[in-house]
Amino acid sequence: MNLLLKRKWFSPMIKIFLFAFFILIVLIVMLLGYRFIVQQQIKQKSAEIIENGGISELKELDVNGDKQYILVEGKDKEKPFCLFLHGGPGSPFPYGVSARTLYPEITENCVAVYYDQRGSGKSFNKKLTNNTLTLSQFTEDANIIVDYIKENYQQEKIFVIGQSFGTIVGTQLVSNYPEKFHAYLGISQVTNISKGQELGYNWLYSEALSNGDKKTLRILDDIGEGPYLAKDEDQFSDLINHYKGMNYFDDTIKKVNLFDLIKGAFTSPDYSLQDLYKAFISGPQFSLIDSQELKKEIILTNFFDSVKSIDIPVYFIQGKYDKQTNYELAKQYFELLDAPNGKEFITLEHSAHYPNTLDAALMNDTFKKMLEPKRPAGTDITPP
């Protein structure tokens, strides 16, 4: 009797499993089909850029003994060259190699060099070791890329744009080699992370008290005032994000759709399926979890002490609500920074750590202004 009952249940379970498996296969085929179609569209756009006198090419380079990749793209090869240093580490978004044809507002105004940094995306490889993941190594890698751009594309100087983690590399780079650059632009500029954690702790405590959030108060009491490393840092960042310090929104401002920042990787003709795994799994795992010494070095970064002057024009773009790379701290650093060739601080009124689309026009205007052959005027710009 029990055997008959088992058979009655077993047969429907097999049918359900087979049906679910069939649906899964159909979905995978549809996704791969969509990916193929969009890849062909991107390749066509890339070909049109080249046919019209522009440039759109992937380059594999040997960088300090490591195989790394850049994508060079611009609608006019005579425009200035801009090296983009993405955030992370380990996550090559949004300005990595997978950005082919995604940002026409950028490639209209310059030749963009999108770069998958050491341990990120297409540049990730299993031979990497923790002792090669240091901030000085990232900086020297970027310096090799700069020299390649200058020599291969006959550029006397270039522009550097860093975002979040990329601002650490960018700031060190332009501080060490100012003669190689026209100007530096930092988006969500890192200044002193451990001090930012202290300010963030006080802000979170105040917010949690106001909201009667006992759970958050308990976590803050448990982890203390920092500096935070390892799991404590992960918990702290989660709380910052929970209270909109990374992705701000309210009744009039929609959250930044983070999928928009990474979706290009899914359809990039320059990313294989293995590269996708590197970009979303291997790279972040290695850089953010396995490489705890790198994480510690990032958190202990303090440009107030280490970089007090930059001898080229400097632009900071900072979200008003940013508590990850703290807005108030970035402004303090900007005011103290000695920049004899000019500096500007641009406030994004609708953004936290991730720039909101409502601030896109201001960002693009600042970008265009930086590329103009003149030093920046004034010290602070806010939208009307």
pLDDT, tens digit, for every residue of 310-356? 999 999 999 999 999 999 999 999 999 999 999 999 999 999 999 99
H helix runs in 307-359, sequence order: 327-336
Measured distance CA(85)–CA(94) in Å, rounded = 10
Write down the pLDDT at residue 30: 83
The candidate with the shortest Cα–Cα distance to 122, out of 276, 290, 262, is 276
Question: Does position 274 have pLDDT exceeding 80, yes or no?
Answer: yes
Write down the pLDDT at residue 334: 98
Q: Which of 11-25, 77-91, 158-172, 223-237 has the lowest mean pLDDT?
A: 11-25
Half-sphere CA count of 134, side-chain side, radius 13 A: 6
The candidate with the shortest Cα–Cα distance to 300, out of 196, 158, 223, is 196
Half-sphere CA count of 36, side-chain side, radius 13 A: 6
* Mean pLDDT, range 24-42, rounded to an integer: 85
> Which residue has 């100087």 as its token pair?
157
Write down the pLDDT at residue 234: 87
Write down the pLDDT at residue 9: 52
* Mean pLDDT, range 76-85, rounded to an integer: 97
Measured distance CA(105)–CA(110) in Å, rounded = 9
Q: What is the mean pLDDT of the chain?
A: 91
Report the interhelical angle of 214-223 vs 193-211 (nearest 10°): 150
- The two three-digit tokens of residue 226, written as one number: 């920092």
Question: Does position 5 have pLDDT exceeding 60, yes or no?
Answer: no
Question: Does position 3 have pLDDT exceeding 60, yes or no?
Answer: no
Question: Does position 378 have pLDDT exceeding 60, yes or no?
Answer: no
Confidence of residue 296 (pLDDT cuts 50, 70, 90): very high
* Mean pLDDT, range 167-189, rounded to an integer: 98
Question: Does position 252 have pLDDT exceeding 50, yes or no?
Answer: yes
Question: Does position 26 have pLDDT exceeding 80, yes or no?
Answer: no
H helix runs in the chain, sequence order: 2-51, 104-107, 135-152, 165-176, 193-211, 214-223, 230-242, 258-267, 273-277, 283-284, 292-299, 303-306, 327-336, 360-371
Write down the pLDDT at residue 35: 85
Write down the pLDDT at residue 2: 55
Q: Which of 58-62, 71-75, 369-373 has the lowest mean pLDDT?
A: 369-373
Ramachandran category for residue 205: left, alpha or beta (phi over 0 → left; psi -120 to 50 → alpha): alpha
> Which residue has 């550097």 as its token pair?
160
- The two three-digit tokens of residue 176, written as one number: 């060490």
Question: Does position 368 have pLDDT exceeding 90, yes or no?
Answer: yes
Confidence of residue 382 (pLDDT cuts 50, 70, 90): very low
Q: Higher model confidence: residue 194 or residue 381?
A: 194
Write down the pLDDT at residue 33: 82
Write down the pLDDT at residue 383: 43
- The answer to whether the CB of 230 falls within 8 A of the CB of 295 is yes
Measured distance CA(202)–CA(205) in Å, rounded = 5
The model's pTM:
0.91
* Mean pLDDT, range 132-143, rounded to an integer: 96
Measured distance CA(85)–CA(90) in Å, rounded = 12
Digit-coded pLDDT (tens) for 8-17 = 555 667 767 6
Write down the pLDDT at residue 275: 95
Write down the pLDDT at residue 103: 95
Question: Does position 379 have pLDDT exceeding 80, yes or no?
Answer: no
The candidate with the shortest Cα–Cα distance to 173, out of 137, 142, 133, is 142
- The answer to whether the CB of 138 falls within 8 A of the CB of 117 is yes
